[in-house]
Chain A
Amino acid sequence: MTARTAGAAGMLAAVCVAWSALPLRHGGLAGLFLAVAIACALLSVARLALGRAPDEAPAYLNTVEQWARSVADLIRLCPWAEGMIVAVLALEAQHPSRAWHTALLGAALLAYLLASHLAESRSRLAVLRPQAPLIAAGLGLLALAAGAAALPSGTGSAADVLAVLAAVAAVAVAGMVIPV
């Protein structure tokens, strides 16, 4: 079960990176974001594959084993999935506006996060059942946002309003972190 979900998470990570990179853009920050996204995706899958750190370290390790152990610890330590999310969205933003493309990327990123969680916590798909209505509603909002973005805008004022609303929502989300 864990191997399958980890494999699914790896495939979704690859899909996200490839989807956000296409069509390939040269120059600017796109190359950098692509490199970061690929590296973070690989390392996040490696982190899932490594699993938890062993409880007891062997008493004696040779140099190569010590080096491998340090690398594994580093991979476990860093939030590679978060890095991949930021890099993928930044890479997508490098392209000209393409609302439905971005919406599909958002859905793939959400699926990747859920698969990562299942693989990490060694849980079954059934544990996500309570979240299903909210995920469905979120995907509906995503589709609405993509539809709104696809509409031709006469002036730039609507986009400005949206930007302000988005900023307020960002503050709200950040505020949720504090009471936990």
Chain B
Amino acid sequence: MDTARDTAQRRAPAPGAPQDAQARQARLAWSLSAHAQRLITLALAGLVIAVITRRPEFAGVAAPAVLLLAVRRPERPARVGVTASPSGTKLTEGEQAELTVTVTGDRGYPVDLLIHPRYAVVPGTPDGEPALRGGRSALPFQVTRTGRRSLGLLEITLWDRMRLTEGHATIELPIVDCYPMPAAQRQRVVLSRLPSRLGEHPSRASGEGIEFTGVREFVPGDRQRRINWPATTRRGRLQLNTFAAERTQNVVIIADASSDVGEPGSTPADLAFRGAAGAARAYLAVRDRVGVIVYQRSVRWVSPGLGARHFYRIMNLMLLEHARVADPARYTAITRLPRAALPPGSLILVFSPLLDRRLVETVRDLRERGFSMLIIDVLNTEPSGSNDSLSGLARRIWRMEQEAIRFSLRELGIPLVSWDGRQSLDEPLAPYTRRAMVIRQ
């Protein structure tokens, strides 16, 4: 691609910096278009054959091409001003977004725009549509994988009126943050014993909630508005409605990003992040306190908290940690998770392919410390290899090892469900969302 790498190949904006909305000057490199080269070939071939064969009809064949090539060309712009700003700098995976491009100083020359995308960016340029209207164009794109992604390069092509010369310039596009697409989850796993903090989950204890639990005899001091008059009439003594206390729970989600294997975009690490994001959103929606631990070569966490702002704090953690997924340099031996990230009595949801032995040991350790846990297995791939008997045997041994790990965890009293990343999280969690999960110490 013979494009002038624009002067504008400036440094990409610093991470977290506001996206560049100022016009950048892009220097145009003008050259003959492929159309003009073909016309020249036709003209020259026609004229040469006319001379050699002394047949004037071949000179006539060259005539249209000669006329098209001989037209006077007006002065061409040497530079254009280009502004490229995405519709949002924070996107989720697969979200449709637009890149608004404004070109100034084109002197009325027709302009074509083309995105040369970087990894995980999919442009959706409408085919055959005029690229620029009123100096402005909206180019659709989507980012398909979590992370801090550069959109790529924008190639700007100016054509002259006769489409014989073309000017090329290339500019670097901004960087956008792509959050994991939260998995769908409507039902929640709730522990049978909840901490004494006001929330939205009905607990076993009686209290001031709205969920009816039974009728008991009135004692002095009870609120009169809760008297159940039909029951009072039947029994002849004052009866009172009782309600369940509503409590909140602490949920800690462990996203295991230590194994980035399989097809890019649906690796266990991707699934773990999507599942963790979905679970965090579901629990925050009912005002539970949610914390997230991202487990890979090192451990980073967000302590349990509440609210929409906290959700974005969690998403930012996952976004930053996704970039470090395959970084072996950050290896540190971790088998115990920090106490600060694990409030007592928390429900711990682990999204993991259970390929990292250290995490398996950590999970065992947590169970032995008395935490209530539930593992969502996101392993969706297995070692590839040839179909010979040795590879087949190795695969069988690997599968048996995996089954042994899962069996040992179940034996410890840790429920384990599988999630393939496509279905809703409600389906694998259904056995545990129908009733409160009993804590066994």
Give the B-binding residues of A (Cβ under 8 A): 1-2, 55-56, 79, 81-82, 85-86, 89-90, 92-93, 97, 99, 102-103, 105-106, 109-110, 113, 116-117, 120-124, 127-128, 130-131, 134-135, 137-139, 141-146, 148-149, 156, 159-160, 162-163, 165-167, 169-170, 172-174, 176-177, 180
Count A-B pairs with CB separation below 8 Å: 189
A-B contact pairs, 8 of them (CB 8 A): A89-B58, A102-B61, A117-B34, A121-B112, A138-B66, A163-B51, A167-B51, A173-B43
When distances are taken between beta carbons in the complex, the residues of chain A under 8 Å from B55 are 93, 97, 102, 149, 159
Give the A-binding residues of B (Cβ under 8 A): 30-71, 110, 112, 116-119, 127-128, 130, 152, 159, 161-163, 165
> Is B41 a contact of A82 with CB atoms below 8 Å?
yes
- Which one of B44, B64, B128, B162 has the highest number of Cβ atoms from chain A below 10 Å of its Cβ? B64
> Is A137 a contact of B67 with CB atoms below 8 Å?
yes
A117 to B62, CA, bound (A): 18
The smallest C-beta distance from A26 to any residue of chain B, in angstroms, reads 20
> Is B127 a contact of A1 with CB atoms below 8 Å?
yes
Partner of B64, one of A120, A123, A142, A148: A142
When distances are taken between beta carbons in the complex, the residues of chain B under 8 Å from A141 are 60, 63-64, 67
A134 to B69, CA, bound (A): 10
Chain A residue nearest to B41 (CB atoms) is A82
The smallest C-beta distance from A25 to any residue of chain B, in angstroms, reads 15
The smallest C-beta distance from B11 to any residue of chain A, in angstroms, reads 21
Main secondary structure of the interface of A (DSSP, over half): helix
A166 to B42, CA, bound (A): 13
> Is A134 a contact of B57 with CB atoms below 8 Å?
no
With A86-B45, A93-B55, A173-B47 already in contact, the answer to whether A56 and B119 are too (CB < 8 A) is yes
> Is A102 a contact of B58 with CB atoms below 8 Å?
yes
> Is B58 a contact of A170 with CB atoms below 8 Å?
no
With A89-B61, A138-B67 already in contact, the answer to whether A162 and B128 are too (CB < 8 A) is no
When distances are taken between beta carbons in the complex, the residues of chain A under 8 Å from B59 are 145, 162, 165-166, 169
> Is A160 a contact of B162 with CB atoms below 8 Å?
no
> Is B68 a contact of A131 with CB atoms below 8 Å?
yes
